[in-house]
Structure 1
Amino acid sequence: MDTHNATVAAISSKVSAFHASSTPFRIYHGSTLSTRTSSRQKSRIIDTSSLNHVLRFNTADKTVLVEPNVPMDALVDATMPHGLVPKVVMELPNITVGGGFAGTSGESSSFRHGLFDRGIRGIEIVLGNGDVVWAARDNEHRELFFACAGSCGSLGVITLVEMELMDAKPWVELEYHAVQSIDEAVQLCAQSAKDPSIEYIDGIMYSLTKGVIMTGRLRADASPHPIRSFDKPSDPWLYIDAEEILNNLLTSPPSQSPRPPTFKQSIPLKPYLFRYDRGVFWSGLRAFTYFLTPFNALTRYLLDPFMRSRTMIHALHRSGLASQALIQDLAVPFDKTDEFIRWTDQKTGLWPLWLCPVRKAPRGEESFSMGGMTGGTGSGNFDEELLMDVGIWGMGPKNPTSFIALNRAFERKITDLNGLKCLYAHAYYTEEEFWGIYDKEKYDGLREKYHAVGLPSVYEKVKVDLKGVAGPRENRQRESWGEWVVRTFWQTWPLGGLYGVASATKGLLVESDFLLK
């Protein structure tokens, strides 16, 4: 803890100096898996990149003190020897503890445990005036603790997290259930959520009439099911393997059972937790399409080093293609899921879609972007205990105006359905629209109380720069000639993609993450 305390003291001192001189600043974490672009000025940066250690276990209490820049795979490697694992583990191994807390992160255990931030007991945070406080669920800084979850680091500099863990077992028995409608998928998720033996639920819809819901149980051994893993270059990508299983289930002879047949596999726990890493769900398919490369088992094997999330996110940013990617997670009430997915199909035709049931937090304890601080529209005032997160990932229209119009249509639709979007991705709201959803008066009050006005606001962190694009009149800005030339370069096939691959290749060789100094 001595090294940690010294680092925090240095951060506190620098923040205090910024506060004394009324200098705005940003936080530099070292790397990112956010799809948003980064805006940094080195002279106004608080560098927290060295806060990347697992510090102390309390095995009796099943908790761990961990610094915010510890990635998920390193955290799992540290906890499993103690027979423990985080309650919610994000599916991409380079998502960090701090990113999961300050952003919005859910996974297949979220139907039981809620979003990632629900497993956090307390945070050490450097306030905007340099003071260091401990904010927790049950102390005098309770309102700060809950407001920080999902607020994108806009209320202070988080330097330490106390996280709850649960008992781990070596294997996950994963059961695949075929579904032939959105309503059937939703009903199966709701039914499975009531089974106390099930620890994990998520699903993939390949079309309106074809999908698979996957339920997982922790097991001490693998028998009697076939063993599968998803982390080796020779392994299949999960969504491809799941579709093959689904096709077999749908063509199986009718059984005497009133329930449709299912299929079970045994998967080692860590490969299960990061089963979507290779190919980043199915986004890797877009890279093969972009470069006109055959998509088969051999090419996936040969190009495997480029198909891991660390490398793919690096390439996505460096290529400039992030500005053309439709990357959204949107939470809707269960009874609105069918309507929303049908609307999505009509608007985009993008498949597959990810389904992940999420348990909402108790009233007053919601994270910022998933129900907390709701404002005038009433979005997020859910009565249901469970919400359905729908993951939509693919390439949008190449025309910038059409691309923004599509994203804004998603935002309007999700508001109409009394849902909310995750703020880890691009947000196209005008400032008036954004603060019509979230409670600006309460948020600004906390920013003033905890001296956070020197940090960018959450809206400033998530909004898209609409410069040069015929977006909403409130956001429209004039683009310089030089900016137009740069933007045109990135949008010209295959220049941006080639640059992204070259940058990612360099990153592989020097073992660097995107945004590392």
Structure 2
Amino acid sequence: MRDEVGDHRARVAEAAAQLRAAPDGPLALDKRTSNLFRDRQRGRRHRLDLGALNHVLAQDPAAGWVDAEGMTTYEDLVAATLACGTMPAVVPQLKTITIGGAAAGVGIEATSFRHGLVHDTLREIEVLLPGGEVVVCSPDNDYSDLFFGFPNSYGTLGYALRLRAATLPVLPVVHLRHRRLDTERFFDELAAACASDADFVDGVVFARGEQVLSTGHFVPEGRWRSDYTFENIYWRSLRVREEDFLATGDYLWRWDTDWFWCSRNFGAQQPLLRRLLGRGRLNSRTYTRWMRFNARWRLAQRLARWRGRYRESVIQDVDIPWRHAPAFLDFLHREIGILPVWICPVRGELPGRCFPLYRLAAAPLYVNFGFWDAIETRRPLEPAHFNRLIEQEVLRREGIKSLYSDSFFTREAFAQSYGMASYERLKRKYDPQRRAPDLYDKCVRRI
């Protein structure tokens, strides 16, 4: 039997030595894949390779936890936990997301109405600080300030080497029910579903006045099991089915096959191209590579200009207090026009569990709106016109947005939304030499 703890300690020692030996200058994580949708300015950075820290170390199904290294993908983490009859309490939608990335950023899914965001499910984080020291932080030890300050820090306070996350018992099948609702009833029914015994709750806005609310329950077996990993497309099924059954693993990755619905931008939902690509290429890994290629060569922008159009990419996830959700959806229809929109309810902040860089303190229930596309106009607008409109409306509605994509906040608005007073205290304590970048510089200025 392998000594997983000993192997982990050796990998940690190597990572710490690598960082201590790094030359002076800005740090960056050397990742082979990334689920960030904001490009950073090119410049001299020392890139830290933590790729070897990608192992599931231990799990205790009875106690409800799993230990995994920071670069472990959720694809591998889910496979390991399902084999023991459990799943991470919150499993982000895409297989290539790492547990360390979800902790340093924000991770959400259809269990979030009960369990919160990924960082709400963590019990312990082992962190490699920018100076090369390694500390283990938990909610009640000497490094509790770093435990609560780590989420939404995006590597600017250090890197997660190991995390202990809560797990939930599972059954083999998820029984889904899809209800088509008008706008007047949708958010009330969403809140009611969150108060029910459902194991999963999410929804999709397909058009003004057309929403689908989906609830899922674990069951030991289903009357059938649908397959959305090849020719059939999950998001389309929501408009034609009232009931469905998926194997638990297939349910957790129901959005990965088509990157929600964004694969349509590459033509990958056309039956012939789908067959040519084959099952193995229908996943977020493939679309991410295509997206990076397009970003590098600006193919979509060039095509739009050739057609006399101006194109702005809008890739956003925002969390809005439930009471403001109808007004925010009306704003999206009126000013933005991107459809479909993913809807995912999120539990608000619990007493004693304040994460200062990503606070959900204004309501017991938030609604996540996910919308990802490009908007084309016939005349040029100010740079980031639509993204700035969204940010202003999010602030007006007491919400907060994820920082995995482009942001355009002023420094003052950013400081107010993302707890920069707390962040500066953490930065002085855990990165006094400022080896890692500043959060505003990284996420807004992109340097």
Distance 1:363-1:454 versus aligned 2 partners, 3 A rule: farther
What one-letter code is carried by the residue in structure 2 that aligns with 1:333?
P
Question: Kindly tell me: are residues 42 and 79 of structure 1, through their superposed partners in 2, closer, same or farther at Cα, counting changes over 3 Å?
Answer: farther
SS in 2 for 1:36: coil
Query: Would you say 1:457 and 2:438 are equivalent positions?
Result: yes
Name 2:324's counterpart in structure 1.
336
Q: Which amino acid aligns with 2:321?
A: P
Q: Could you tell me which residue of structure 2 aligns to residue 154 of structure 1?
A: 156
Tell me, in whole angstroms, the C-alpha distance in 1 between the residues paired with 2:171 and 2:154: 33
Aligned to 1:206: 206
Compare 4-13 and 403-412 and name the one that shifted more: 4-13
Percent of pairs identical after alignment? 26
Q: Is the 8 A contact 2:356 2:419 kept in 1?
A: no
Report the Cα offset of residue 368 of structure 1. Answer: 5.0
| Match of residue 362 from structure 1 | 350
1:302 and 2:306 equivalent? no
- Which letter does structure 2 place at the counterpart of 1:59? P
What letter matches 2:431 in structure 1? H
Whether 2:288 is the aligned partner of 1:313: answer yes
Q: Distance in 2 between matches of 1:337 and 1:364?
A: 26
Displacement of 1:67? 0.6
Partner in structure 2 of residue 136 of structure 1: 138
The secondary structure found in structure 2 opposite 1:329 is strand
Q: Tell me how far apart the structure 2 counterparts of residues 237 and 52 of structure 1 sit (CA, whole Å).
A: 31
1:298-347 deviation digits (Å, cap 9, x = unpaired):
44333455541111112112211599421101111112111111111111
Q: 1:47 offset after TM fit, Å?
A: 1.2
Distance 1:438 1:107 in 2: 22
User: Using the alignment, how far apart are the partners of 1:155 and 1:147 within structure 2?
Assistant: 9
Write out per-residue CA displacement over residues 82-124 of structure 1, whole angstroms, 9 at most, x where no aligned residue: 1111111111111111111111111000001000111111011
- The number of equivalent residue pairs is 427
In structure 2, relative to structure 1, the CA distance for the partners of 1:78 and 1:42 (3 Å cut) is: farther
Counterpart in the other structure of 1:12: 16
Contact 1:397-1:403 at 8 Å conserved across structures:
no
Residue 389 of structure 2: which of 384, 391, 409 is its match? 409
Task: Decide whether the 8 Å contact of 2:156 with 2:438 is kept in 1.
Answer: yes
Q: Is the 8 A contact 1:87 1:109 kept in 2?
A: yes
- Letter of the 1:230 counterpart: Y
Q: Which amino acid in structure 1 is aligned with residue 82 of structure 2? A: M
| SS of equivalent residue, structure 1 residue 160 | strand
The alignment status of 1:77 with 2:79, answered yes or no, reads yes
- Deviation for aligned residue 1:38: 4.6
Residues 347 and 369 of structure 1: CA distance in aligned 2, closer, same or farther (over 3 Å): farther
Change over 3 Å in CA distance of 1:189–1:355 after alignment to 2:
same
* Alignment correspondent of 1:422: 402
TM-score normalised over the length of structure 1: 0.78
Matched to 2:237, the amino acid is: D
Of 396, 413, 417, 1:437 maps to: 417
Q: Say whether the 8 Å CA contact 1:150–1:368 is kept in structure 2.
A: no
- Structure 2: distance between partners of 1:460 and 1:175: 44
Tell me how far apart the structure 1 counterparts of residues 217 and 405 of structure 2 sit (CA, whole Å): 31
Distance 1:341 1:297 in 2: 32
Distance 1:140 1:465 in 2: 32
Question: What one-letter code is carried by the residue in structure 2 that aligns with 1:393?
Answer: W
Following TM superposition, by how much is the alpha carbon of 1:348 offset from its aligned partner in structure 2, in angstroms?
A: 2.1
Give the greater-gyration-radius structure (CA): 1
The residue identity in structure 1 corresponding to 2:117 is L
Q: Are the aligned partners of 1:135 and 1:142 in contact in 2 as well (CA < 8 Å)?
A: yes
1:98 aligns with 2:100: yes
The separation in 2 between residues aligned to 1:160 and 1:239, in whole angstroms, is: 34
- 43-52 vs 69-78, greater mean Cα deviation: 43-52
DSSP-derived class of the 1:285 partner? helix
Shift of 1:366: 3.9
Segment of structure 1 superposing worse, 303-312 or 44-53: 303-312
Tell me what 1:189 maps to: 190
Question: Using a 3 Å threshold, how does the CA distance of structure 1 residues 340 and 403 change in structure 2: closer, same or farther?
Answer: farther
Q: CA deviation at 1:170?
A: 0.5
Distance 1:50 1:455 in 2: 21
Q: What is the aligned-residue RMSD (CA, Å)?
A: 2.2
CA distance, structure 2, for counterparts of residue 464 and residue 199 of structure 1: 39
Q: 1:449 to 1:464 in 2, by over 3 A?
A: closer
Maintained 8 Å contact 1:71/1:94: yes
Structure 1 regions of 5+ residues with no counterpart?
Answer: 246-262, 372-379, 467-517
One-letter amino acid of the structure 2 residue matched with residue 341 of structure 1: L
User: Retained in 1: the 8 A contact 2:357–2:419?
Assistant: no
User: In structure 1, what is the Cα distance between the partners aligned to 2:41 and 2:63?
Assistant: 40
Deviations 1:448-488 (A, max 9, x none): 1112621012212211559xxxxxxxxxxxxxxxxxxxxxx
Of residues 3-12 and 337-346 in structure 1, the stretch that sits farther from structure 2 once superposed is 3-12
Write the distance in 2 (CA, Å) between the matches of 1:451 and 1:462: 18
What is the SS of the residue equivalent to 2:384?
helix
1:117 is aligned to 119
- Asked if structure 2 preserves the Cα contact closer than 8 Å seen for 1:381 and 1:418, the reply is no
What residue number does 2:239 align with? 243
2:334 to 346, 361, 372: 346
Mapped contact 1:30–1:48 kept (Cα < 8 A): no
Structure 1 contact 125–158 (Cα < 8 Å) conserved: yes
